[in-house]
Amino acid sequence: MKVELISINPDCEKHIEYCARTCYNSLDKMTADSHKIFLANLIKNGHLSVLEHSFASFLIDEISRACSHQLVRQRLASFSQRSQRYVNEKDFSFVIPPEIEANTIAKQIYLKTIEDIQISYAKLVDMGIKKEDARFLLPNASHTTITMTANFREWLHIIDLRVSKHAQWEIRDLFINIWKLLFNKAPTVFSEIYFLNWSKDYEYKKEIFETKIKSS
Ligand SMILES: Cc1cc2nc3c(=O)[nH]c(=O)nc-3n(C[C@H](O)[C@H](O)[C@H](O)COP(=O)(O)OP(=O)(O)OC[C@H]3O[C@@H](n4cnc5c(N)ncnc54)[C@H](O)[C@@H]3O)c2cc1C
């Protein structure tokens, strides 16, 4: 899995503060670090719409189609995904789930099946079958590349859903990476404060925040 922050609006936290202060006619109260307490209070009080003023885009590569299928359920985000209609997926690379990786027999079955699919896919394409039809053979394991853009409110919502004990391991790993990258750029918005006030599983979020986000 590779995750790269490819775009974020400049001064993303100051920008939210500026927009939100129009509500209170308090632009004159802005100082170099006034956004820290101001944004924390907005989040605590549930004035979350102001977080929609800042955006970030990620390039996400080498995740499985099983993972991207879950990802694109987030309806307020925007996506562009590598097409299996237009791109030749001969010799596609793929994810091996850790549980299968750790089991020699399961891994043999898995790799043999992938190899058979690769051979059959290549045969179909070589005999002139359109890629859009040959792709029906491709497994959920095959790698995909996707760009994803969302506003900060939606990123917090998705982190809340996917950095959870109940989430599937691959999408959870993906969102731990995304949370880390967002925290580095916007440490007030992507601190614990949202989860402390709004998450159903704050204890789990706190553990991840302490061990994987803050320390990165
Ligand atoms: C642990 C886990 C297990 C899951 N298992 C399954 C499963 O078995 N099967 C399955 O199909 N899905 C499953 N999902 C996906 C889940 O049902 C949601 O589709 C997905 O998490 C997106 O959630 P969302 O609608 O809150 O987010 P988004 O689509 O990102 O929307 C964000 C928020 O915007 C608002 N919103 C968006 N669209 C509308 C709308 N049309 N009307 C009103 N409000 C709207 C809601 O407040 C929503 O929370 C699972 C998700 C998780 C986290």
From ligand 1's centre to the CA of 192, what distance in Å?
A: 22
Judgement on whether residues 24 and 128 belong to the same structural domain of the protein:
no
From ligand 1's centre to the CA of 158, what distance in Å?
A: 9
- Ligand 1, atom 49: closest residue by C-alpha: 157
Q: H/E/C letters for each residue in 156-177? A: HHHHHHHCCCCCCHHHHHHHHH
Pocket test residue of 152, 161, 166, 199 for ligand 1, highest count of atoms within 8 A of CB: 161
Judgement on whether residues 57 and 97 belong to the same structural domain of the protein:
no
Closest CA to 48 of 201, 172, 197: 197
Span 163-215, pLDDT tens digits: 999 999 999 999 999 999 999 999 999 999 999 999 999 999 999 999 999 98
Banded model confidence at residue 51, pLDDT cuts 50, 70, 90: very high
- Ligand 1, atom 30: closest residue by C-alpha: 74
**Alpha-carbon span 89 to 94, nearest angstrom:** 11
pLDDT of residue 196: 97
Pocket test residue of 68, 73, 160 for ligand 1, highest count of atoms within 8 A of CB: 73
Span 23-32, pLDDT tens digits: 999 999 999 9
Judgement on whether residues 173 and 106 belong to the same structural domain of the protein:
no
Kind and range of the H or E run holding 151: strand 143-151
> Which is the catalytic residue, given 65, 135, 153, 162?
162
Span 84-141, pLDDT tens digits: 999 999 999 999 999 999 999 999 999 999 999 999 999 999 999 999 999 999 999 9
* Phi-psi label, residue 44: left if phi above 0, alpha if psi -120 to 50, beta otherwise: alpha
Pocket test residue of 49, 68, 75 for ligand 1, highest count of atoms within 8 A of CB: 75
Domain interval for residue 157: 2-80+143-213
Decide: 147 and 56 in contact? Cβ < 8 Å.
Answer: no
Closest CA to 92 of 82, 106, 100: 82
Judgement on whether residues 17 and 72 belong to the same structural domain of the protein:
yes
Judgement on whether residues 175 and 159 belong to the same structural domain of the protein:
yes
CATH of the domain at 188: 3.30.1360.170
Q: What's the alpha-carbon Rg for the chain, to the nearest Å?
A: 21
| 135 counts as catalytic | no
From ligand 1's centre to the CA of 116, what distance in Å?
A: 35
Judgement on whether residues 162 and 125 belong to the same structural domain of the protein:
no
pTM to 2 decimal places: 0.96
From ligand 1's centre to the CA of 204, what distance in Å?
A: 20
Pairing of strands 143-151, 78-81: antiparallel
Is the confidence at residue 216, as pLDDT, over 80? no
Closest CA to 88 of 31, 130, 54: 130
CA atoms within 13 A of residue 158's CA, in its CB half-sphere: 27
From ligand 1's centre to the CA of 129, what distance in Å?
A: 36
For ligand 1, residues with CB inside 6 Å are: 73-76, 154, 157, 161-162, 166-167
**Alpha-carbon span 159 to 205, nearest angstrom:** 9
Judgement on whether residues 98 and 49 belong to the same structural domain of the protein:
no
In a domain, 86, yes or no: no
The domain total for the chain is: 2
